[in-house]
Amino acid sequence: MLENLAARVNQDANLVRRGRSVSTTFLIAIDNADHLVRVAEGKVVEIKPGPFITPNYSFALRASRESWDKLWSEQPIPGFTDIFALVKKKLLRIEGDLHPLMTHLLYFKGVIAAAGKGALAAPRSGGAA
């Protein structure tokens, strides 16, 4: 699901510029499948799929596959257009040290959005909510 994320981010010069002072590892959980995403100076340099015994990361974004699919839908769905929309619905949980996320929120939102472009997202399961 995230296999092309690094290429999508790293080819977006504007996004990399926005994140030029970001170097951290964060976790994306899709259902129970964890992925560690390592960022260095705004570029995604490694995406490591779990499971992990002792994952080391700054913050984690955890949601069901269904919620991620809606967020990454090609057609925007009201109520599912942003990670904080999902947080408000209690469909996404943000955990850990939020400081890197909040200091570079526009950048990380751009990274998350990049995962939803084109064929990256899982095939839509049924109609939009």
What does the binding site for another protein look like in residue numbers (CB under 8 A)?
76, 78-79, 81-85, 87-89, 98-99, 102-106, 109
Closest approach of another protein to the CB of residue 90, in Å: 9
- Beta-strand pair 92-96/59-63: antiparallel
Q: How many C-beta atoms lie closer than 10 Å to residue 90's C-beta? A: 7
What ranges make up the beta strands (E) of 50-117? Answer: 59-63, 92-96
Residue 33 or 128: which CB sits closer to another protein? Answer: 128
C-beta of 29 vs 91, nearer to another protein: 91
Adjacent-strand bridge partners of 68? none
Nearer to another protein, 20 or 48 (CB): 20
